[in-house]
Chains A and B, each alone.
Chain A
Amino acid sequence: MDDRTHRAAHRIEGRSAAPGLALGPLVRLSSVQHEVRQYRSAAEEHRALVDALAASQEDLGALSRQAGDDEAEAILAFQMALLEDDSLVAPALARIDAGDGAGQAWSAAIDPEIASYDAAEDPYFRARASDLRDLRDRVLRHLAGEADQTVPSGVILAADDMPPSTFLATDWRDGGLVLRRGSPSSHVAILARSRGVPMIVGVDVDRLEQGIDALLDADAGLLIVDPDTNMRAGFSLRRAEQSKARQAAASFSGPALTATGELVRVMINVTGLAELGVRDPAEVDGIGLMRTEFLFQAREKLPTEEEQYRIYRRMLEWAAGKPVTIRTLDAGGDKPIAGLTQPGDMNPFLGVRGVRLSLRYPDVFRAQLRALARAAVAGNLKVMIPMITVPEELDRCRALFEQACDELRREGQKAQMPPLGMMVEVPAAALTIEDFNADFFSIGSNDLIQYVAAASRDEPQLADLSRPSRAVFNLIRHVVDHANRSGREASLCGDLAGDPAQVAALLDQGLRVLSVAPGALGAVKAAIANYAGSAA
């Protein structure tokens, strides 16, 4: 046997963050390192920077032509204007002539600008720091001779971490994602599950070789680099089976019934209108969770009341009378929003997030409540508040909501107070659930698990503690029992609900409403159909 055939495929273990299979060449997205380039002569450094600036300008022009939305275009136009600005470029070139390397000189010219935006008092200006950082890194990538981070489809991307904006800008057809950082509960993982992109985390991506074919088995949390023919064949077979199963699951429409004929309502979690476009509302019992964070992210300005109203209204129209549960802004934690959340929060998951943030930014919250109150007239809207810890928080939200309704009516607009519920994700709230004046309860299992176990969901070494425990199930049962006794609805919208292996355990606790990522719909309905009642 010669070396080539002898070369063994190797397996790298990670953790599954979004199920699925992918086969393709590995493409490494590197975070920018400033001194990767060897210094040549001043003349060559000068030319390298001029070329990198021109190449960046070209990238931005191309991105701008495909942007198709106003906010993205504005950011790109700003970056293009910066690249053309002599007061930024000239000092960088002067530094090169004085002996600096191209990358060093570019960073030295743009870093003080970034720092000055970071320090700006006005949140609009402060948010621009990220645009400058992005521009700095784009030029540095070109200097390092790296390809732009827009990648072809059908590849397996490997990176340290990935901001949601990059994920959204990538064409994931037939591709997959491998990250060092992040966790199954990170925001990117939520997006990956929602869009059916196979993804694993906790992989030492530095060891991966660019361009080599790899199999991503995100069901098992495995990456197989340089697979042999047999592995590829087995893999193709599995993929074909999966796509068949997916089709079968898709035909699992209509109401979900257990083996004993009990009805379970299955709803979906979404982040916006884009995910609804291709879906038939007949497949689902409603929207159990609409995350509004995405309306606020990667933008120049926070969304206006009118803009939010139009989006909420279109979701209600899509649902055609089925319930649409919209969660008010849940920023903070792993979902920072430029100009709103505090950068450098010591412990973001225990910090100013969710309702804590909304109550501190009454103008932002008020615009959202007004938009919701107006939309409530148009359909079966329910609104829930994230991160409720004590009853007073929910009471304050209810008062503000009523105030928003009154205001609107005084202005002659139609408004209505929708049922107001709470997310149950803080153990303190779950334990004293009887004290809350909520119209319904929605259990957020991702945060509940990490708060109950005092184990960060982003810490790969603590994966064992991030699994649902008896402590978590006891809390879920406590909430469901209270809801049933008081004639209110309890549902669960965390990742637990989308895991077919956990469905029986959740039904055992008495839950009869689940909300899952759209990609999990078929598998969850199938698991419900197999449920024949409590094992106990």
Chain B
Amino acid sequence: MNKHKASVLMRHEVGLHARPSVKLTKLAKAFESRIDLGLSPDGPWVDAKSIVKVMATRAPKDSTIYFRAEGADAKAALEALVTLVDGDFQDGR
């Protein structure tokens, strides 16, 4: 099975707030794999495609975000998500 893990430090000034969460969940949904997000390496995990769940983590600035993904495109998904968070949620717009 194709399982992957990754983590990244989030520096966004207001934390995992509405705008960054919208971008993150949108990106996650672009992939087939099941993707979870957590604030520690062993969870608890929430569905990274759910804006309700992602925002409920209330992740503040300077938290480390952990991802785990399972599915055909798991590796690509995590690379993309890490790039998004690492680039402070700029999507080139």
CB of B4 to closest CB in A, whole Å: 23
Residues on the B chain within 8 Å of A75, using CB: 18
**Neighbouring B residues of A125 by C-beta, 8 Å:** 17, 55, 58
Asked if A81 contacts B14 (CB within 8 A), the reply is no
Q: Say whether A87 contacts B22, CB under 8 Å.
A: no
Report the Cα distance A267→B27, complex, angstroms: 51
User: Interface residues of A toward B: which range?
Assistant: 20 to 34
The yes or no answer to B47 lying at the interface (CB within 8 A) is: yes
* A-B pair number, CB within 8 angstroms: 49
**Residues A87 and B18 in contact, CB atoms below 8 Å apart:** no
Q: How far is the CB of A471 from chain B (nearest CB, A)?
A: 48
The 8 Å CB contact of A113, one of B18, B25, B26, B52, is: B52
Q: Assess whether B22 is in contact with A85, with CB atoms less than 8 Å apart.
A: no
**Does the CB pair A87–B14 fall under 8 Å?**
no
> Are B50 and A78 in contact, with the CB atoms below 8 A?
no
Interface range on chain B (Cβ under 8 Å from partner): 10 to 19
Say if the beta carbon of B56 comes within 8 Å of chain A.
yes
Q: Tell me the residues in window 453-510 of chain A with beta carbons closer than 8 Å to chain B beta carbons.
A: none
Q: C-beta contact mask, B56-72 vs A, less than 8 Å → 1, else 0?
A: 10101000000000000
Residues from chain B with a CB closer than 8 A to the CB of A84 are: 51
Which residues of A are found within 8 Å of B53, using beta-carbon distances? 87
Q: Kindly state the separation between the CA atoms of A109 and B56 in the bound complex, as whole angstroms.
A: 15
Q: Known contacts A81-B25, A81-B26: does B58 contact A122 (CB below 8 Å)? A: yes
Minimal Cβ-Cβ distance residue in A for B29: A84
- Report how far A88 CA is from B18 CA in the complex, Å: 16
Q: Which residues of A contact B51 (CB under 8 A)?
A: 78, 81-82, 84-85
Q: Which residues of A contact B52 (CB under 8 A)?
A: 82, 85, 87-88, 113
**Residues of B6-64 whose CB lies within 8 A of A:** 14-15, 17-19, 21-22, 25-26, 47, 50-53, 55-56, 58, 60
Minimal Cβ-Cβ distance residue in B for A125: B58
Q: Does B47 contact A87, Cβ atoms closer than 8 Å?
A: yes
- For the complex, what is the distance from the CA of A113 to the CA of B50, rounded to whole Å? 13
Contact of B14 among A85, A113, A120, A301 (CB under 8 A): A301
A200-248 CB contacts (< 8 Å) to partner B? none
CA distance A124 to B52 in the complex (A): 15
Minimal beta-carbon separation of B57 from chain A (angstroms): 11
Q: How far is the CA of A96 from the CA of B17 in the complex (A)?
A: 31
B41 CB to nearest A CB, Å: 23
Kindly state the separation between the CA atoms of A87 and B56 in the bound complex, as whole angstroms: 12
Residue among B14, B18, B56 with the most chain A CB within 10 A?
B18
**Chain B binding surface SS class:** helix
The answer to the question of A116 belonging to the interface, with a C-beta cut-off of 8 Å to chain B, is yes
The answer to whether B18 and A78 touch across the interface, beta carbons within 8 angstroms, is: yes
**Chain B proximity of A133: nearest CB distance (Å):** 14
- Cβ distance A67 to chain B, nearest Cβ, rounded Å: 14
Contact of A81 among B15, B22, B58 (CB under 8 A): B22
Query: Which of chain A's residues 107-131 have a Cβ closer than 8 Å to chain B?
Result: 113, 116, 120, 122, 124-125, 128, 131
Answer yes or no: A300 CB below 8 A from chain B CBs: yes
Minimum distance in angstroms from B71 CB to a CB of chain A: 17
Chain B residue numbers with a CB within 8 Å of A113 are: 52
Q: Is A77's beta carbon under 8 Å from chain B?
A: yes
The answer to whether A78 and B47 touch (CB under 8 A), given A85-B52, A116-B56, is no
Looking at the assembled complex, report how far the CB atom of B83 sits from the nearest CB atom of chain A, in whole angstroms: 20
Q: Which residue of the partner chain B has the closest CB to A82? A: B51
A74 CB-CB contact with B under 8 Å: yes
Q: Is the CB of B19 within 8 A of A78?
A: yes
Bound Cα distance from A347 to B41, whole angstroms: 48
Q: Which residues of B contact A128 (CB under 8 A)?
A: 18, 55
A86 at the A/B interface (Cβ < 8 Å)? yes
Inter-subunit contact B50/A87 (CB<8 Å): yes
Q: Decide if B19 touches A77 in the complex (CB within 8 Å).
A: yes
Residues of A within 8 A of B60 (CB): 122
A63–chain B nearest beta-carbon distance, Å: 15
Instruction: Name the residue of chain B whose CB is nearest to the CB of A71.
Output: B19
Question: In whole angstroms, what is the CA distance A74 to B20 when docked?
Answer: 10
Do A74 and B50 have beta carbons less than 8 Å apart?
no
Residue of A nearest to B16 (CB): A125
Instruction: Give the distance in Å from the alpha carbon of A81 to the alpha carbon of B14 in the complex.
Output: 19
Would you give the shortest CB distance from B12 to chain A, in whole angstroms?
11
Specify the chain B residue showing the minimal Cβ separation from A83: B51
Assuming A116-B56, A120-B58, A125-B58, is B18 touching A85 (CB within 8 A)?
no
What chain A residues lie within 8 Å of B25 (beta carbons)?
81, 85
Question: In the complex the two chains form, what is the Cα distance from A125 to B14 in whole Å?
Answer: 9
Show 22 residue pairs from A and B whose CB-CB distance is below 8 angstroms, ordered by the A residue. Answer: A74-B18, A77-B18, A77-B22, A78-B18, A78-B19, A78-B21, A81-B21, A82-B51, A82-B52, A85-B25, A85-B50, A85-B51, A85-B52, A87-B47, A87-B50, A88-B52, A116-B56, A122-B58, A124-B17, A125-B55, A128-B18, A300-B19
Which residues in B have some Cβ–Cβ distance to A below 8 Å? 14-15, 17-19, 21-22, 25-26, 47, 50-53, 55-56, 58, 60
Known pairs A87-B50, A88-B52, A125-B58 / 10 extra A-B pairs, C-beta < 8 Å: A77-B18, A81-B21, A81-B22, A81-B51, A82-B51, A82-B52, A85-B25, A85-B50, A87-B52, A124-B15
User: Which 4 A-B residue pairs are closest in the complex by CB-CB distance?
Assistant: A78-B18, A81-B51, A87-B50, A74-B19
